[in-house]
């Protein structure tokens, strides 16, 4: 007999919801992140619905918000490197998202589905899939850095939706 190998499978199909169509807005940008598979990390459970939630939000930004496919940064199982490359660091806010923008015209929509974690002194973190739970202050992505860098974007508006628990 062939041995059975257990694999992590996560739902990828969002619920079937229709959105009112919007005209395409060529300057608008979206970042959609679905972190489901945390097996690269240490001591962090998986988030089964994250892929389907990210796919649903991708559908929403395309149909309802009019964001063009080429203006969607879609990250599945974002590592610390991916988050830094997309949003920048504590000293440099000009990550990939910054380069997608049309100064003063772009509306930005960000969606994150995955783990969040509390840190020392009231700091919270997005948890990359390659993080180690006991070192989240070193390998998580600080929410303070995210908001600081987003505030420096030359965007018309920025909307952030975090589907994460920080307890």
Model confidence, pTM = 0.90
pLDDT at residue 4 greater than cutoff 50: no
Q: How far is CA 27 from CA 56, 108, 122, 132, 155, in A?
A: 21, 9, 35, 37, 10
pLDDT at residue 48 greater than cutoff 80: yes
Any idea what the Cα angle at residue 91 is, between residues 109 and 143, rounded to 5°?
45
Q: What is the DSSP letter of 25?
A: B
pLDDT at residue 5 greater than cutoff 60: no
Contact 32, 61 (CB under 8 A): yes
Q: What is the DSSP letter of 98?
A: H
- Mean pLDDT of the 101-130 span: 95
pLDDT at residue 3 greater than cutoff 80: no
User: Where does the chain have alpha helices with state H?
Assistant: 50-63, 80-87, 96-100, 136-139, 143-151
Question: Tens of pLDDT along 51-72?
Answer: 999 999 999 999 999 999 999 9
């Amino acid at each position: 007999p062939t041995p059975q190998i257990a694999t992590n499978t996560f739902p990828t199909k969002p619920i079937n919801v229709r959105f009112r169509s919007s005209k395409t807005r060529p300057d608008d940008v979206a970042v959609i992140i679905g972190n489901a598979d945390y097996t690269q990390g240490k001591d962090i459970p998986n988030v089964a619905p994250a892929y389907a939630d990210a796919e649903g939000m991708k559908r929403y930004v395309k149909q309802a918000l009019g964001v063009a496919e080429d203006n969607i940064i879609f990250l599945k199982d974002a590592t610390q490197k991916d988050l830094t490359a997309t949003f920048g660091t504590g000293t440099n806010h000009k990550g990939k998202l910054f380069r997608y923008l049309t100064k003063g015209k772009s509306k930005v929509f960000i969606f994150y589905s995955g783990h969040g974690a509390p840190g020392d002194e009231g700091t919270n973190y997005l948890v990359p899939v390659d993080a180690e739970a006991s070192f989240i202050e070193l390998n998580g992505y600080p929410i303070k850095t995210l908001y600081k860098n987003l505030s420096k974007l030359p965007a018309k508006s920025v909307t952030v939706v975090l589907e994460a628990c920080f307890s």
